[in-house]
């Protein structure tokens, strides 16, 4: 159900973007990113004396568009999908961006949205995957995302860095390359 809501939101944005683009010049982008996501489950280690591996490297894609909202101010939308290498199977979400562009073309922004995370419970807890499957545990969770980011132009692309949190429970740092067109 959550995936349907995400795709419905992305479809609505896809319909709204061309309308907004007619009103002002859109700056679409796509890119690849990688990083590290700490799920913040360290207190489980202490409270239950369980060794929880709660962090994962992530690698994925993103796409979106920015729109001028003044001489140096912009607003934008972005969607992302990443897959993980240990505690996280995958994560995906959408966010809105608000920021400004400096004289050199670099963009600095805040963003907010919603992010879902599909966990690898067996990897997270160290419990055998067959046991986890038998328990029929819902391993997908989602909550609001807030973050900060910056993009630095390099030719027709941009180098970007983001620092996000999901509900102020996790910390996710990513870097990537955005291709502007």
pLDDT digits (tens, 9 = 90+) for 49-78: 556 667 899 999 999 999 999 999 999 999
Q: Cα–Cα distance between 58 and 87 in angstroms, integer?
A: 10
Which CATH fold topology does 2-180 show?
Answer: Porin (2.40.160)
**In this predicted structure, what is the pLDDT of residue 120?**
72
What is the full DSSP assignment across 16-44?
HHHHHHHHS-EEEEEEEEEEEEE---HHH
pLDDT digits (tens, 9 = 90+) for 111-132: 999 999 988 765 666 656 666 6
Going from N- to C-terminal start, the domains of the chain cover 2-180
């Amino acid at each position: 159900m959550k995936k349907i809501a995400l795709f419905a939101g992305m479809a609505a944005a896809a319909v709204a973007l061309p309308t907004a683009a007619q009103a002002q010049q859109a700056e679409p982008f796509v890119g690849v990113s990688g990083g590290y996501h700490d799920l913040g489950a360290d207190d489980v280690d202490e409270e239950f004396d369980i060794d929880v591996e709660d962090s994962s490297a992530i690698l994925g894609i993103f796409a979106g568009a920015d729109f001028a909202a003044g001489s140096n101010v912009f607003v934008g939308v972005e969607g992302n999908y990443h897959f993980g290498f240990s505690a996280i199977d995958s994560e995906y979400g959408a966010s809105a961006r608000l920021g400004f562009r400096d004289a050199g073309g670099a963009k600095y922004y805040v963003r907010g949205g919603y992010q879902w995370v599909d966990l690898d419970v067996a990897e997270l807890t160290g419990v055998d995957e067959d046991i986890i499957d038998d328990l029929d545990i819902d391993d997908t969770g989602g909550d609001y995302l807030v973050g900060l980011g910056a993009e630095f132009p390099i030719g027709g692309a941009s180098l970007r860095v983001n620092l996000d949190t999901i509900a102020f429970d996790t910390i996710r740092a990513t870097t990537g390359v955005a291709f502007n067109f």
